[in-house]
Chain A
């Protein structure tokens, strides 16, 4: 067992973990943060995307011990203390950027990473930034529109 100290969504945790424990399993099974789903389990789909020390990562491809000393933000840590959504979350809601919703946490975390780097991306840049995130409901059109709307850009419906 290896000792890890991680800050997740603003709360500090100290745990003993097996080195082989994946970050996604640590978040879900140990911390109960089930807002981040396991999708493909093969680093293809991006559903498990979280933010680690300021960068988006696929949490199925990071060991919990690699996050030791780090700061993780999941989709559950985005809303304000009063539960108020961020503009990006609101845009996903308003633009109907989800159908089954399984890819949504990863889409939001990947889009958040893009907007931090590039606050007013083009439609093409949004698509490239989300290339590691799969939506099997084929809802990409509205996802792209939501990200553009969240960046304050007018988009058609």
Chain B
């Protein structure tokens, strides 16, 4: 399968990339690692007039600390995220979930920012960044703005980025001391999650003091299992966690496809939420 023809630009820095996007209007697509965009092009599901390849922009790669936050460049590959000592220390959930994305060859090319900007609700990392209360920093012609993850994912494959904006970095509050786990159900190792659950748990005196639960593929965007999060407060044993997980699918609108019905997805959300929270809380 051969992609449709397009013009190609390879800007050297972020300013140049933003100018290229602004000049092209809505007909441009950003090429990050290409592991989602190239399949879309090959299948002729996207017809950009211009592809802006940001793969050579060094300032978009790497991880640094900024006070209580970790700042990850949008073009940092999954492979580098998994191995980064700062990510492992301060954002363990992201490292663990990223290790389950696709397969090694895809993780060599695919990037954190690309995965988030693609805004596929079946992608693993949108729900993780949502659960971590992350922020996404975009740069456009007027400068930079920070978008909370809760406002970033607008609809299926649609983010809050304007056509002339480039996602430049992801800011994650450090979760030192939190337990974490990403539990996903998929048919084969490299397939998309049928459902995934990202759990972060802070314990105090053996009880759940605070829990955050993100849901993969339970709607047109990643979601938070708010009812479960509220029910988890104060949970002191596995039974209490299991009861809280019963509401994991409340207020979700899972899709129907060849892999699963909405009812089955709701069932998976409840089961996986229980497993993920028990593992994150160290009660499993």
Interface residues of A (CB under 8 A from B): 2, 18-20, 22, 25, 41-44, 46, 49, 55-58, 60-63, 65-66, 110, 113-114, 128-129, 131-133
Contact = CB atoms under 8 A, between A and B. Distances in A.
B173 to A, nearest CB: 30
A58 B34 contact: no
Interface stretch (B35-43, B193-201, B246-254): B35-43
Interface stretch (B5-13, B146-154, B206-214, B237-245): B5-13
B34 A61 contact: yes
5 contacts: A20-B5, A42-B1, A43-B106, A57-B109, A58-B105
Interface of B: 1-8, 10, 31, 34-35, 38-39, 41-43, 51, 53, 55, 79, 102-106, 108-109, 189-190
Contacts, number: 86
B39 A42 contact: yes
Contacts of A131: 103-104, 189-190
Contact of A62 (B1, B38, B190): B38
The 10 closest A-B pairs by CB, nearest first: A132-B103, A19-B8, A131-B189, A55-B108, A20-B3, A56-B105, A61-B38, A131-B103, A58-B105, A41-B1
A57 B33 CA distance: 11
Given A56-B108, A132-B106, A20 B4 contact: yes
A5 to B, nearest CB: 13
Given A55-B79, A132-B106, A61 B39 contact: yes
Contact of A18 (B5, B10, B104): B5
B111 to A, nearest CB: 13
Most buried by B among A43, A49, A62, A114: A43
Name the residue among A22, A46, A63, A113 with the largest chain B CB count within 10 angstroms: A63
Contacts of A56: 104-105, 108
A132 B42 CA distance: 19
Contacts of A132: 102-106, 189-190
A153 B1 CA distance: 40
A19 B102 CA distance: 26
A76 B241 CA distance: 54
Given A22-B3, A66-B34, A58 B106 contact: yes
B34 to A, nearest CB: 6
A101 to B, nearest CB: 20
B103 A62 contact: no
A19 B109 contact: no
Contacts of B43: 42
A65 to B, nearest CB: 6
Contacts of A18: 5
Nearest to B41: A20
B227 to A, nearest CB: 34
A41 B42 contact: yes
Contact of B105 (A2, A20, A22, A46): A46
A41 B5 CA distance: 18
Nearest to A114: B104
Contacts of A43: 35, 38-39, 106
A44 B38 contact: no
A46 B3 contact: no
Nearest to A18: B5
Given A44-B190, A55-B79, A131-B189, A65 B105 contact: no
Identify the interface centre among A49, A58, A110: most chain B CB within 10 Å of its CB. Answer: A58
A41 B79 CA distance: 23
Given A20-B2, A25-B2, A41-B42, A63 B105 contact: no
A43 B105 CA distance: 10
- Of B34, B35, B105, chain A has the most CB atoms within 10 Å of the CB of B105
B6 to A, nearest CB: 6
B251 to A, nearest CB: 33
A129 B103 CA distance: 7
A131 B109 CA distance: 16
